[in-house]
Amino acid sequence: MINSDEDYWRWMREYPARAAQQAEIQAAARVGERAGAQQVELTLDSLLAKLGWTRRYAEHAVQPYCSCWHDWSGCVHADDQEITPGAA
């Protein structure tokens, strides 16, 4: 807790080292997380599952008239066809 100017300046001096130390701890944790994770083969189905998209939505999203990439919730074509990313 910072109660005085002295506390504030001490915190300002110490913060970069603390932030760097915390970043190293977090990076090491991510390395461990990746090492322990089972790798998933890249397939269309695995990608769609990760994105939460149905195949119907993905087929819509690649069409030249689709504006979903700019703001999928505002794509009038998707609205007309009643297509949302996660709905079947």
pTM: 0.57
75 confidence band (pLDDT: 50, 70, 90): confident
Range(s) of the domain holding residue 28: 1-39
Interval 8-34: pLDDT, tens: 888 888 899 999 999 999 999 999 999
Are 14 and 35 part of one and the same domain? yes
Q: CB–CB of 58/65 below 8 Å?
A: no
How many domains, the chain?
Answer: 2
Are 32 and 50 part of one and the same domain? no
Are 26 and 13 part of one and the same domain? yes
The phi-psi region of residue 84 (left if phi > 0; otherwise alpha if psi is between -120 and 50; otherwise beta) is beta
Q: Which pLDDT score, from 0 to 100, does residue 27 have?
A: 96
